[in-house]
Amino acid sequence: MKLIITPDAASATHVAAHLLADTIRQRPDAVLGLATGRTMEGVYAALADIHRAEALSFSGIASFNLDEYVGLPPSDPRSYRHYMQTHLFDHVDADERHIHVPNGIAADLKTECAAYEAAIRTHGGISLQLLGIGDTGHIGFNEPPSPFDTRTRVVELDAATRQQNAEMFGGDPDAVPSEAITMGVGTILDAKRLLMVATGPAKADIVAAALEGPITPDVSASAIRLHGDVVVVLDEASAGALSPETRALANAG
Ligand code: F6R
């Protein structure tokens, strides 16, 4: 695992955006696994800046988002499809036909999940999977406990996650959909490279649990330590509970 600790959130998201940009430069037809949430807002803003300033083209890439709320149409401003449009796709030259976000209003959700897995395979797998970490330790919406061989499926959201994401729903956790479609932990671990980003002091304890605690389905993010090619980008605040031994790994080439 490569660990990068930056002084603040802006530099963490900047570093993550440059890692994504490098992937696209090396492989203009890269298959990007994308995440949503507050942390990623900074990543996508920085990526859109790189697109403009350095003429980085997204026209050849394909993308697969980690998750989507069940019951929200893509046009709903609180849906993750809408989030991706406003935070990234409106600002870059990605080909709409190659953008994939699970369909949370599919008539048959089970079929939708199987088709999503199949589409990832048809594209040759994910080159780089961007990940945040939730208060429950989830990656995607893999709430505890999520076995490490899980695939794309419908999950029930943890009360803590509905609280974490309530802001977009008028501050009311009960207004947050109770279910979501998420790539599984196994789907995520199949990506060729993982890039986890966390910022802010509220993430410090769960980041330490994921990187230093037991590798367990009770903390889905701990699964990334089983992957051979992982980059974790943290700001100082989210790295605040790491042991000196783990911190010593940071920025070591
Ligand atoms: C969202 C996702 C989640 C978030 C996590 C952190 O697509 O996959 O795992 O990355 O909940 O969210 P923020 O960045 O809002 O703290």
pLDDT tens-digit profile of 148-181? 999 999 999 999 999 999 999 999 999 999 999 9
| SS3 assignment, position 222 | helix
What is the residue type of 169?
F
pLDDT confidence of residue 7: 98
Listing DSSP states for 114-137 in one string gives HHHHHHHHHTTS-SEEEE---TTS
Residues 6+ apart with CB under 8 A from 33: 63, 64, 65, 66, 126, 128, 129, 130, 183, 188, 191
Answer for the pair 206, 243: CB distance below 8 angstroms, yes or no. Answer: no
- What is the 44 CA–ligand 1 centroid distance (Å)? 14
Which residue lies with its CA nearest to atom 4 of ligand 1?
132
- What is the 79 CA–ligand 1 centroid distance (Å)? 13
Choices 3.40.50.1360, 3.40.50.720, 3.30.420.40, 1.25.40.10: CATH for 2-251: 3.40.50.1360
Catalytic residues: 67, 138, 143
Measured from the CA of 65, which atom of ligand 1 is nearest? 7
Mean pLDDT calculated for residue range 212-234: 98
- What is the 139 CA–ligand 1 centroid distance (Å)? 7
Rounded Cα distance between 184 and 147, Å, is 9
Half-sphere exposure of 116 toward its Cβ, with a 13 Å CA cutoff? 30
Tell me the pLDDT band of 219, cut-offs 50, 70 and 90.
Answer: very high
pLDDT confidence of residue 251: 73
Which residue lies with its CA nearest to atom 3 of ligand 1?
140
Q: Is 200 left (phi over 0), alpha (psi -120 to 50) or beta?
A: left
Is 173 touching ligand 1 by the criterion CB < 6 Å? no
Mean pLDDT calculated for residue range 82-102: 98
Is 39 touching ligand 1 by the criterion CB < 6 Å? yes
State what percent of residues in the chain have pLDDT above 90: 98
pLDDT confidence of residue 98: 98
Is 82 touching ligand 1 by the criterion CB < 6 Å? no
Mean pLDDT calculated for residue range 6-10: 98
- What is the 156 CA–ligand 1 centroid distance (Å)? 15
Q: What is the mean pLDDT of the chain?
A: 97
Measured from the CA of 80, which atom of ligand 1 is nearest? 7
Choosing from 40, 63, 157, 183 the residue with most ligand 1 atoms within 8 A of its CB, the one to mutate for a pocket test is 40
In the chain, domain spans: 2-251
- pLDDT for 107 beyond 70: yes
Mean pLDDT calculated for residue range 62-84: 98
Is 36 touching ligand 1 by the criterion CB < 6 Å? yes
Measured from the CA of 41, which atom of ligand 1 is nearest? 14
Structure tokens at 195: 């890039």
Mean pLDDT calculated for residue range 27-35: 98
- pLDDT for 253 beyond 80: no
Which tens digit of pLDDT belongs to each residue from 111-139?
A: 999 999 999 999 999 999 999 999 999 99
Predicted TM-score (pTM) of this structure: 0.98
